[in-house]
A and B are shown apart, each in its own frame.
Chain A
Amino acid sequence: MKSMLKKGLLAAALMASTAPAAMAQECADADRVPITWSTIAGFYTDAMAELVSGFEAGHCVKVNVVNIDNSQLYNKQVIEMVGQTGAYDVVTLETSEKAEFAENGFILPMTEYFADKKAQLDDVAPTLAALTTQYKDDVWGLPYYTYTAGYIYRADLFDDPTEKEAFKKRFNYDLAVPTTWAQHRDIAEFFTRKAGETLKGEKLTKDFYGVGLMAGPFPEIQDEMSGVLWSQGADWLTDEGKVPVDAVEKAMNDYLELVKYAPPAALTVTYDGVMNQMKDGQIAQTYSFFLDQWPNAVQTETSVAGAKMGVAEAPEKKAYIGGFLLAVSASSAHPKEAMDFVAHIGGHDAQMEFAKAGGTSTLMSVLSDPAFAAPESRGKTGHFSTLLEIFDSMKGFRSNLFDTPFGAKIYNTMQIPLQSAAAGQISARQAAERLAVEVEKICGGPCPIGK
């Protein structure tokens, strides 16, 4: 009954929206419809302010932006949704949270809204669209930012003749961007050196490490582990909704091989720590690392003399993939305006502006725009072409983690056993078993998978 009423209202609102947009321009401040967007703090705040005013110029709406720390965004939004406060009209969701918000009626489906805007929906990179916009035959919003992972490395080390020679001598093949796990591990081992040893023929003043990892107490170790697990053909959840213990154990053991070559701080940091290590010249490469950090990583070229950064697909061509989705709260008092806002921010024009400011867009038309491939854009958008390759390699990829309404809770819990193993407190087997137990507890049995 209630939902029918809502749909009716929505239809009425949709009809009203066909009125010419021009009239919006001459609207008094007092007439503006207030909507609130809860989003991630420090997220290209300046660029966002411009995108928002761009929207306000065309619509009689006043957008209030609430910045929340990424680690608190999920619970803060859930509380407001459960409390049906209507405080947030537009919410920002991580890929694993979409199913939960959709299944529990926290957000409104936008299928009807996009019915006549098919082109806009089709512009979203298809690999991403499948993971972020769709759940059970409905469209739930637009991704406006992707953190899809790849491989960021110190290209100058790979080009150095002394290092190349030494590598070849030791491993019997050429030093190059790794395409397999074994190669990645070899490179990590190869570049791990103590202070006093040499790197590129120069004496190191501090320890140098083969790889920077995000094994700290944050929900990012699972993003790296996803790369290992997925590239081995497994997933966090089987189609029966259970954790495949053997597969997770194997992936965990492989990951532990890598931890040996990471700085000790790997156990306490997340991506920003890895970036700090990179910019201070302490690590040679990353694994399954968020490519949206590229503009950050490039700064290494100014902070470390002679450094040159490179970006590529992750080894085995599988890595963590997803994006931040904008969706409209079910308790919003102005769903129509909120949906317009989602369409605006996720739309081509706004995404172009966003990309120019350093944001990592989700639209094919933006990612493939030749302007962003130009050498002078390298510092901000040098990773776009790699993203296109990743989307191509991972075409049609699905993970059950993103299709269970318990995805967010599993995602927020899984780093605990994984991190215990990384810290050496428990074995890979124990970590996999604990994960299975935790997941079963969260779902109250096998996890439902809604495709």
Chain B
Amino acid sequence: MLQRESSFAKEALRYGLIVLVLGFIVFPIAWMIITSFKPADAIMVSPPRFLFTPTLENYVHAIYDKNFLFYIKNTLFISVASTIIVVVTGSLAAYSFARYNVGDGHLLFFILSTKMFPAIAVILPYFLIFREVGKTGIGSFLGIGLDRPGALIISYTVFNLPFAIWLLVSFFQDIPRELEHSARLDGLSRLKVLAKVVCPLAAPGIAVTGVFTLIFSWNEFLFAYILTRKAASTVTVGVESFFTLQGILWGPVAAAATISVLPMLVFVLAMQRYMVRGLTFGAVRG
């Protein structure tokens, strides 16, 4: 009886703390979403206004006047394409590192070290590379070049690969080798083992990696801003058109930001199933 009470108190404390943490995390975003429904004259006021007649005018402005969905479409295409490339090539490489120890750690270190070069120092070489590639037939065929989506897909792939490979290596290493060995004994080829046995087991890790890769690509600003002009611009660049000479259009910015969070949320919710699979891990192993 006493024990149950104390465990109830413990649970209450736990959920109390969780609510507190979530409050801190959610509150700025919540304020942003609230702002997106405010009429223009209720935003920059002191004291802050909590009661107001909600309006959709900010969304109308963002979607119709600023054509924000165009940027969403660009960003979706670019970040999904880049994420697929990263997850596929990253998984292959990570599996190789985790199982065969290619390069004895040196290659892994080299891969991580490419992340240590400041982005701003590589931006100009990238600009020049893509300018040249863009002039060629291959460039225009593959959509690579300045203000073409390929330039950003490649850039984001390069940035996210080191992170993805390192994260995946640690997940792959947690998978017991015995399963692979027995699958090989059953006559499966190495690639089949990777696809049918290893990847399903590593699903939580791959899902987590995919989620973060997508999010990082979705949110990147500097390269999108330098390498695109309009046709291939992404949401982070699109938001810039809300910073006007009459000041920042807070309401429409909030609406645009809220719109751009939605695809990520849907994606994360969809990936939940795979991320949770880790729970059953022990069962498989046993």
List the interface of chain A (C-beta within 8 A of B): 36, 40-45, 64, 66-72, 76, 79, 83, 85, 87, 206, 271-273, 275-276, 279-280, 282, 292-293, 295-296, 303
Contact = CB atoms under 8 A, between A and B. Distances in A.
B230 interface: yes
Contacts, number: 68
Contacts of A68: 240
Contact of A87 (B46, B124, B229, B244): B229
A296 B247 contact: yes
A40 B243 CA distance: 9
Contacts of A296: 246-247
B178 interface: no
B241 A42 contact: yes
B47 interface: yes
Nearest first, the 10 A-B pairs at minimum CB distance are A42-B244, A272-B247, A69-B240, A276-B44, A41-B241, A69-B243, A67-B241, A66-B230, A43-B245, A296-B246
A43 B243 CA distance: 9
B62 interface: no
B245 A42 contact: yes
B229 A276 contact: no
Contacts of B230: 64, 66
Interface of B: 41, 44-47, 65, 124, 127-128, 131, 146-147, 225-226, 229-230, 240-249
A275 B127 CA distance: 38
Contacts of B44: 276, 279-280
A280 B40 CA distance: 12
Contacts of A276: 44, 247
Nearest to A293: B246
B7 to A, nearest CB: 48
A42 B46 contact: no
Contacts of A72: 225, 240
A68 B241 CA distance: 6
B38 to A, nearest CB: 14
Contacts of A279: 44
A83 B145 CA distance: 13
A68 B237 CA distance: 9
B245 A85 contact: no
A253 to B, nearest CB: 30
A149 to B, nearest CB: 14
A87 B245 contact: no
Nearest to A80: B229
A83 B131 contact: yes
A64 B147 CA distance: 14
A72 B127 CA distance: 16
Given A87-B147, A272-B247, A276-B44, A41 B240 contact: yes
Contact of A76 (B65, B128, B225): B225
Contact of A272 (B65, B127, B229, B248): B248
Contacts of B147: 87
A275 B247 contact: yes
Given A40-B244, A42-B241, A68-B240, 15 more contacts: A41-B240, A67-B241, A71-B243, A79-B127, A79-B226, A83-B127, A83-B128, A85-B131, A87-B146, A272-B246, A272-B247, A272-B248, A273-B247, A275-B247, A296-B246
